[in-house]
Amino acid sequence: MSLRSSFLLALLVLFAANLPADPLTKSLEIDFGRDVASRNLKGLATRSDGRVLPGPVFTDLAGPKLGDILWTIKATGAERLMLKSAQGVSDRVVSYHFLVGTGPEGKVQEVTFKPDDNLYTVREVADVAETNVLSLLPLPNGNLLLGTSPTGVIYLVNGGKNLARIPLPVDSIFDFLPLPDGSVLAATGNPGKIYRLDLAKLAKAGVIEGKAGDEKLLADRGVTVFGEIRDRNVRRLARLADGRVVAGSSPKGNIYSLAATGGAPLILQENHDAEVVDLLPLEDGGFYAAIVNTPGDAIRIGKPIEPKPDPSKDKEIVMPKLDEKPAFTGRSSVVRFPADGFPESVTGKPGIALYRLARHNGWLLLTAGEMGDAFGYDPVARRSLTFAGSSSAQLNDLAPLGDGRFLLIRNNAPGLALLSFAPAPVRELETKRLDLGQPAELGAVRFARLRGVEAKALKLEARTNFGSDELEGWTPWTELKLNDGAFAADGLRGRYVKLRLTMPGNAADFQIDKATLYSLPQNRRPSLVDFRILSPSMGLIPAAEQPPSSTASLNQVLFPGSRENDPAAEKRKILLNSQVVPAPGTQIVFWTVNDLDGDTLAYTFSIRPENSDTWTDLAVNTPDSYAQFETGGLPEGLYLTRLTASEQGPRPAKQRLSYTFETDALLVDRTPPAITATAVARADGKLVVSIEGTDALSLLEGAEFVLNNGTHETVTHPADGILDGKQEKFTAEIPEAKAAGATSVEILLYDQAGNSATVRLPVK
């Protein structure tokens, strides 16, 4: 064996030998990707590998109400201001214009957003008879194309006036897709069809009231079938770089491909109980699909309740409000469809419903519910991201402003929000409630690695709580000071912890790795689980302890705090396998003490006579769970006992606890019982032999009857039926056949202390 191999083996042996001693300090890994909610991010993003990166700022905008449910948002343009300076002429955007489709009143609102002050105004530009405007498409000539639900109608609107109304034989118009030739595709539901819209003919169709006509009538108005699927709804449409059209459906959630001219679809991926909520084409000819699996009848957007009279009050009307939506039980995934390969799932979110996909600097941006989350995906690092989110329940749609900012519509409560990837003046995150497992004193917080930012630029604060309530019982925020490359503060104690990290906004490109929070758990007193005083006159020969193993399992290396075998239990097992042999005058006392913190314990076992105050230590600071001592030098009588368990190193001396348990009384009795009466008689074919006796200190335990013909009987059941006294009578009934030839009987009367008295009687 080489010198290096010998050294490594020695290290392994030393490691394995030291496994039983768990460190008293506990550590908690802080995975920022797992332990930070999106609504608690500001200017920061967290990644699925636990790291912190630069991220966007999410701002809920204040402004007038747009509707009870906001379905879709589309950009229509921007107003720019020309500025002249010595460097030349430049311009900047002073306002952006968007259209928002709403429900349940079937209105389209024009939103003018002013980025300088984050304010917006609202102007109604369309109001249709149908309940919900699900789809919008602003046209280059200023007209607006919109689709409705639950009656599928296509409107062409300009200046608030309905230029055309074409009812289709469907329930819903979910999506519009403009084509290079100037026509538009419309995705419909129930049935799942894709219609091609000839806008020139549509503009001349006029307003058609009532229900839809036949296919010829629709064709005359510029509406023809482009494609049809067997699934109930065509939810989303997208056009790829090669001209193909892809469609996503529900409630199966299939992905279809259609030729640029339409026709029969091809299935690219089959799903079940799902909804394709968005499709995002890529320059290389591939695309991303966002799919939400909704088992059963799970819903994603609350619907308004119709006003109803309150029966408890005359003619009082209960105003409409949104349903309190049950927790979403499905899951979402994003699948990449390459131009010349098989689909690949790139990220998934259990319990989350996605709504829209967008791109920002190579990242995917995913808006979602059910807690107003905003997520991302980094195709280069192949990691999912969590961005700053909203306090609302859903982020239904978004529209880019073109400068790293996005305007979003949100629901529950409805409104607008701004997601900005521009440099933030302050970047901040707050962790969820972290559970230390038990009350503890906080130590340092240490980051594994910082890149692009120095530790002194970070501000880390902590607050603690002994209760699990999210709002009540928390201490004020306490700043942790930087020392020895870690952040710490004195005097912080609690069961639960929250951390708040703040850093300057001038850090442009950085990564902060996972952190580790160290703590010292509350030192809990040991507890006495078992205490036994064995019968006297037995000695213990302890079994030899096994040498430490020269090998260690991977579980012991990776998780030293959760060892496969408890050392205390192993030691107790070895002790219980020890031999017990007769040893007159010897007494064994055995105990089991449990320490929840795994402290090393030493024991002192003491006794004192019942009528004395002086304790005598029979075992002092022993690591063993038993004491063995001689009773020959002790006067007879009852002795009180106690066991003191004291914590030892590596627990610091100031932190060590000691506890004394009052244990069972010990009786020292060397006096045999006194025989008070005997009798030998024959009756009913039996030899009946009895003995009566009394003992001064111990309870009687039984009697043995030995005939001189070799017959041996042991009786432990007294004549009165209950073995519970210091005075008892024991009777042996021996059949004549077994007593034949016997001329005498020897009787042994013994007590529970092992003392005995004998007498021999003649047998007639």
The enclosing domain of 610 has a CATH number of 2.60.40.10
Residue partners of 453: CB distance under 8 A and separation at least 6: 503, 507, 510, 512
d(CA 387, CA 370): 15
- Kindly give the parts of the chain with pLDDT less than 50: 1-21, 298, 301-325
For residue 455, tell me if it sits in a domain: yes
Quick one: 678 and 638 in the same domain? no
Quick: pLDDT tens for 43-101. 999 999 999 999 999 999 989 999 999 999 999 999 888 666 666 666 788 899 999 99
Residues 602 and 700 in one domain: no
List of long-range contacts for 713-716, beta carbons under 8 Å, 24+ apart: none
Shared domain check, 656 and 532 = yes
Domain annotation covers residue 252: no
Is 613 inside any structural domain? Answer: yes
Place of tokens 């768990």: 22
DSSP-assigned letter for residue 543 = P
Place of tokens 């894709």: 194
Same domain, residue pair 480 and 531: no
Question: In this structure, is residue 316 part of a structural domain?
Answer: no
The Cα–Cα gap between 356 and 397 comes to 6
- The answer to whether 13 touches 417, Cβ cutoff 8 Å, is no
Angle 344-346-350 from CA coordinates, rounded to 5°: 120
Given a contact cutoff of 8 angstroms between Cβ atoms, the answer to whether 428 and 507 are in contact is: no
Same domain, 106 and 204: yes
Domain that holds residue 626: 527-542+578-668
Annotate 346-360 with b (16+ C-beta within 10 A) or e (fewer): bbebeebbbbbbbeb
pTM (predicted TM-score): 0.79
Examine the domain organization and report whether 634 and 694 are in the same domain: no
CA 140 to chain centre: 50
H helix and E strand count, the chain: 7, 59
- In the chain, the number of structural domains is 4
643 and 683 belong to one structural domain: no
Residue 349 is assigned to a structural domain of this protein? no
Which of 418, 397, 400 has its CA nearest to residue 102? 397
Q: Which two tokens stand for residue 177?
A: 């897709």
Residues 651 and 691 in one domain: no
Distance of CA 159 to the CA centre of its chain: 53
Question: How far out from the chain centre does Cα 117 lie?
Answer: 40
**C-alpha to C-alpha distance for 495 and 484, rounded to whole angstroms:** 25
Distances (CA, A) of 235 to 325, 329, 373: 22, 21, 22
One-letter amino acid for residue 111 of the chain: V
662 and 698 belong to one structural domain: no
Judge whether 637 and 628 are in contact, CB under 8 Å.
no
* Domain match, 75 and 218 both: yes
User: Could you read off the pLDDT of 502-538 as tens digits, one per residue?
Assistant: 998 777 789 999 999 999 999 999 999 999 999 898 9
Contact predicate 30/516, CB 8 Å = yes
Contact predicate 145/176, CB 8 Å: yes
Given 668, 693, 728, the domain boundary residue is 668
Structure-block tokens of residue 348: 């998934």
Domain presence at residue 382:
no
Conformational region of residue 585, where left means phi above 0, alpha means psi within -120 to 50, and beta covers everything else: left
CB contact burial 518-532 (16+ within 10 A = b; e otherwise): bbbbebeebeeeebe
Could you give the C-alpha distances from 295 to 124, 230, 273, 328, 333, in angstroms and in order? 37, 20, 6, 10, 14
SS3 content of the chain, % helix, strand, coil (to 5): 10, 50, 40
At 223 the three-state DSSP class reads strand
Residue 321 corresponds to which tokens in the numbers above? Answer: 């409000």
Tell which of 228, 246, 275 closes a domain: 228
Within this chain, do residues 461 and 538 fall inside the same structural domain, yes or no? no
What is the largest distance, in Å, between two alpha-carbon atoms of the chain? 142
> What's the pLDDT at 297?
53
Distance CA 444, CA 438 (A): 17
Domain boundary (612, 644, 668) is at 668
Q: Are residues 180 and 86 in the same domain?
A: yes
Distance CA 370, CA 391 (A): 10
User: Could you please report the per-residue DSSP string of 612-656?
Assistant: ----EEEEEEESSSEEEEE-TTSPSEEEEEEEEEEE-TTS-GGG-
Pairing mode of beta strands 637-647, 626-630? unpaired
